Homo-oligomer: A and B are copies of this chain.
């Protein structure tokens, strides 16, 4: 099911039921924002649906949402683009598979993180200079010299500004319009942030903006390390008290780590959906938590690799690799002692400590005084 890096060109357009004729007469079509979604997948499709419901409704956006997808063959043998064309999402708005991005001024990135760099390389010189990007991509890498933010990668490769959208938003639940939230992290321009909020906001998907790109994006990655810790607590059957304590300590380390790396990161960001809410969702459900629970139940005798292979059909756990990457940063900078939870998660995952070490903090935690 590995996606081929191949954009699909289908120059079809179809007339859609419009419900904004009134507004159309008030707005010059040439000034309306035009959106292209880059990527597909579960989250990409759901995000496209959210976006399209707003572009059809709001006069400041061009109705049509374009989608730039990887072609992939699904387990059923069908091609992704065929499925998209057949599903009811299709009815909502005009899908437009294409490689020409020059008329889009809002680019929504929602691909697997390992493809971002390659895609950006293909897009260089093909986009508008005044385009704004937003990354919905979770899973930035944390290298020894610091995190490699996806928003920074997009910004640097394409020479455009890039915001992020993160939060407690499981694609399948949003697809059936269950109430949830997200946070737009933006850098400087409040108007740009407002435009992104408008594009995604629906009555069941509440979007707020925080002027803190790095903080918002780091939340989306670091929470997976905490989810591993929460999974250990579940596997050890320590109860909700302990789990809540571990989640809180995790949130504290997420905040401290982000602020050490980027002094501009704000405390308030961790109260947003991208912070505390996404952490809760991920520590209640989610595959990181699930596999870590199995690891602890087996007393660490079966490796993460083995459990992943068995439970995730070849997918790798984000949390385990992020914990390892964060550990590298902490060692490199001499910060290990400041982050007992993060470092313990890695030491458990790599077999140096037993799962029960996750609650053995008596000598590691800083006292309040």
**Chain A interface residues toward B at CB < 8 A:** 168-170, 173-174, 178-181, 184, 190, 193-194, 197, 201-204, 206-209, 238-249, 251-252, 255, 267-268, 270-273, 276-281, 284-285, 359-363, 365, 367-369
In the complex, what's the smallest C-beta–C-beta distance from A57 to chain B, in angstroms?
13
Q: Check if A179 sits within 8 Å of B361, measured CB to CB.
A: yes
Shortest A300–chain B CB gap in Å is 18
Q: What B residues does A207 contact at CB under 8 A?
A: 368
Q: Is the CB of A245 within 8 A of B206?
A: yes
Using Cβ atoms and an 8 Å threshold, which residues of chain B touch A280? 240, 243-244, 247-248, 280
* Residue of B179, B285, B361 touching A206 (CB-CB under 8 A): B361
In the assembled complex, which residues on chain B have CB atoms less than 8 Å from the CB atom of A361? 179, 203, 206
Q: How many copies does the complex hold?
A: 2
A268 to B208, CA, bound (A): 21
Rounded to whole Å, the gap between the CB of A189 and the closest CB of chain B is 12
Contacts of A362 in B (CB 8 A): 202-204, 206
Whether A248 contacts B284 by the Cβ 8 Å rule is: no
Q: A178-B239, A268-B267, A359-B179 are in contact. Are A247 and B209 (CB under 8 A)?
A: no
Point out which of A201, A202, A203 has the most chain B C-beta atoms below 10 A from its C-beta: A203
Q: How far does the Cβ of A287 sit from chain B's closest Cβ, in whole Å?
A: 13
Cα(A47)–Cα(B277), bound, Å: 31
Residue in contact with A242 in the complex, picked from B173, B243, B255, B368, CB distance below 8 Å: B173
A-B contact pairs, 5 of them (CB 8 A): A173-B239, A181-B245, A184-B368, A208-B367, A267-B271
Q: Give A34 to B184 CA distance when docked, in angstroms.
A: 53
CB pair B369–A168 under 8 Å, yes or no, is: no
A271 with B248: CB separation less than 8 A: yes
Q: A259 CB to closest chain B CB, in angstroms?
A: 12
Complex: A201 Cα to B365 Cα, angstroms: 12
Other-chain contact of A248, B168, B238, B240, B249 (Cβ < 8 Å): B168
Nearest-CB residue, chain B, relative to A276: B248
Check if A248 sits within 8 Å of B273, measured CB to CB: yes
Closest CB in chain B relative to A263 CB, distance in Å: 17
Contacts A208-B368, A247-B280, A267-B268 hold; do A242 and B178 have CB atoms under 8 A apart? yes
A271 and B244 in contact, given A197-B367, A368-B208 (Cβ under 8 angstroms): no
B-chain residues with CB within 8 Å of residue A273 when the two chains form the complex: 245, 248
What residues of B have a CB within 8 angstroms of the CB of A249 in the complex?
A: 181
The closest CB in chain B to the CB of A283 belongs to: B280
Q: Give the residue name and chain of the B residue nearest to A361 (CB).
A: B206
Contact at A241–B369, with CB atoms within 8 Å? no
- Tell me whether A240 and B285 are in contact (CB under 8 A): yes
Bound together, the chains give a CA A197 to CA B369 distance in angstroms of 9
Whole-angstrom distance between the Cβ of A268 and the nearest chain B Cβ: 7
